[in-house]
Chains A and B, each alone.
Chain A
């Protein structure tokens, strides 16, 4: 088991290294940052001064290793706009996004998994069609539009929930729901197809032949074996949600990572942008490794294989 985990981890490290190069290169190579920083009315001397000031005149690989070295020591540079250490900014903004993502994911799971299970058990029934319909509608809905619509309905017309900001728990309801809704269709589909496959298995036939209750057959015996792709999907989605939260956070004025990323891009605050790209990728990789390990642990056969 340990060897398996280590191998997954080292592969993740390789990918992380590659991503760090990309995150770095993306910004340094995308045009002349110095002139962008200096502004539209800058003279060539101003631009040159910018270049020297931010070390942009050094060879690229030198800049990269410098940055990487600092990053590994926890120094992600300083924000051009906020004049504060990037790591500090990240730590301030991360909790909001994490809260949103966790709440959103929980909402999605609570709705989508039971629907997927029940649909698989009763194909072509009312509940199956409803799940499929929900799935199709959810995927075609632009989430920023949904967010605005919900604001109109719940905040303006019904006056039940606040419009923006992040001071009370009530502020998190709408954003979490909007964020979660986008995750519901894939979870329903994966749960449903996984369950459909598992329900054909011989051991499910045995469970039914022994007279076990429908609830036990579905949720104890079947779901446990169908859970593997759902776990993988959820882990991956969690990583994706961090980036997808850009839209939700900007609309609801929540000061999370997504909002920070957007702001840094608009203001060409590339230390921040770079650091966020890197951080989100790292979180994604960690989630993938965790889900691989979790899945291996869930299936006793794989667990025995790697023990």
Chain B
């Protein structure tokens, strides 16, 4: 080979383009399998066993919360001091009338557990809604406008992360003692950090994308861009964060109620029920077993659901 030959690079080949595929298929001559159609969200969702399982679990719990007055066998606030500490049906002395027994004030435990779903879900969801609103607004603003706005939000974020959440929550809850609204609002004002972080980074990515730049070149206003381009595209990751934050908020509320600074008696918060049962730990262990198990099952369901959602929304494979 003459030395003068310019060494050339073979042109990079790409995967079969649509035109090649079409012509190959048209001539009835294709070398191998050409194209696999991606499945829709529902199709993939149905195959994801954990997602299906957790969805069913959550649906049942939510149904229990909504239809509590219909399915609870007794009034959860009705006291019966004569029959206090009746054990559950599978212990000696229990009866089918009160399947999970009665607590220290003679109230039917099963009914209280069922009504507890209302409190946990309500507080968890509303607190998360508030924090989502705050966090996403801050995050999108920081990610979209950048510069000083970003610096300010990042500073706020650092402050928020530095504050010990549980302690601040305890301190402020003590002040609004008894007011569930107060507790929910305070939780909402404290739990927005994950939303802000995710909203900010996602917005930054979207903002740098070409289609946003062309929208600006076309003269679209900031609001139009935020509404049309940014918000729809941050939905996916934000929804995943929402599920995990709800579980977080539920556990936080139960911790608060356990320490006596959250939901007050006679309401049936699971955390409060565990606190009330703390002293009977040794002789009536079922009193702490059931509410704790309820908390565990609910949070597990939510977390599994969120994990499944993240798998399905984020493409193939686990993170």
Residues in A lying within 8 Å of B, measured CB to CB = 11, 14-16, 18-19, 22, 26-27, 30-31, 123, 132, 136-137, 139-145, 148-149, 151-152, 156, 193, 236, 239-240, 242-244, 246-247, 250, 261-262, 265-266, 268, 273, 276-277, 280-281, 284-285, 288
Q: Given the complex of chains A and B, what is the CA–CA distance between A258 and B278 in angstroms?
A: 19
* Binding-face segment, B36-44, B61-69, B296-304: B296-304
Contacts of A280 in B (CB 8 A): 164, 167
Q: A148-B281, A148-B288 are in contact. Are A19 and B303 (CB under 8 A)?
A: no
Q: Is the CB of B259 within 8 A of A262?
A: yes
Are A142 and B292 neighbours in the complex by a CB distance under 8 Å?
yes
CA distance A16 to B282 in the complex (A): 45
B159 close to A22 (CB less than 8 A): yes
Residues of chain B within 8 A (CB-CB) of A137 are 300
Please name all residues of chain A whose beta carbon is closer than 8 Å to the beta carbon of B282 when the two chains form the complex: 152, 156
Residue pairs across A and B with CB atoms within 8 Å: the count is: 123
**B302 to chain A: which residues have CB within 8 Å?**
140
B55 to chain A, nearest CB (A): 16
Asked if A141 and B296 sit within 8 Å, CB to CB, the answer is yes
Q: CB-defined interface of B245-283 with A at 8 Å, one 1/0 digit per residue? A: 001000100110011110000000001001000100110
Write out the residue numbers on chain A whose beta carbons fall within 8 Å of the beta carbon of B307. 136
Complex Cα distance, B162 from A22, in Å, reads 11
Known: A142-B255, A281-B163. A265 touches B261 (CB 8 A): yes
Provide the bound-state CA to CA distance between A263 and B79, in Å: 31
Given A149-B292, A151-B281, does the pair A140, B170 have CB atoms closer than 8 Å? Answer: no
A148-B278, A244-B166, A273-B171 known, 10 other contacts, Cβ within 8 Å: A15-B158, A18-B155, A136-B304, A140-B247, A142-B254, A145-B274, A156-B281, A243-B167, A265-B261, A284-B161
Query: Do B155 and A15 have beta carbons less than 8 Å apart?
Result: yes
Cβ 8 A contact of A281, one of B162, B304, B319? B162
- Tell yes or no: B314 within 8 A of A by CB: no
Whether A19 contacts B162 by the Cβ 8 Å rule is yes
Instruction: Answer whether residue B172 sits at the interface, using C-beta atoms and an 8 A cutoff.
Output: yes
**Which residues in B have their C-beta under 8 angstroms from that of A273?**
171
CA distance A139 to B179 in the complex (A): 28
Residue of B nearest to A185 (CB): B303
B174 in contact (CB, < 8 A): yes
Does B175 touch A at the CB level, under 8 Å?
Answer: yes
Shortest Cβ distance from residue A179 to the other chain B in the assembled complex, whole angstroms: 13
A277: contacting residue among B158, B167, B176, CB under 8 A: B167
Is there a chain A Cβ closer than 8 Å to B146's Cβ?
no
> In whole angstroms, what is the CA distance A151 to B292 when docked?
14
Known contacts A140-B296, A148-B278; A284 and B164 CB within 8 A of each other: yes
CB <8 Å contact, A250 and B292: no
Alpha-carbon separation in the docked complex, A130 to B113 (Å): 30
Chain B residues in 8 Å Cβ range of A149: 288-289, 292
A-B contact pairs, 11 of them (CB 8 A): A11-B158, A30-B172, A145-B296, A148-B292, A152-B282, A239-B162, A247-B259, A262-B170, A265-B261, A268-B174, A280-B164
Q: How far is the CA of A240 from the CA of B319 in the complex (A)?
A: 25
Verify if B197 is at the interface (C-beta below 8 Å from A). Answer: no
Query: With A30-B172, A273-B171 as given contacts, are A281 and B292 in contact (CB-CB < 8 Å)?
Result: no
Q: Quick one: which of B155, B158, B167, B307 has the most chain A CB within 10 A?
A: B167
Contacts A15-B155, A152-B282, A281-B162 given; indicate if A265 touches B296 (C-beta within 8 A): no
Known contacts A136-B300, A148-B292, A265 near B174 by CB under 8 Å: yes
* Cross-chain contact A30 with B175 (CB below 8 angstroms): yes
B168 sits at the interface (CB 8 A): yes
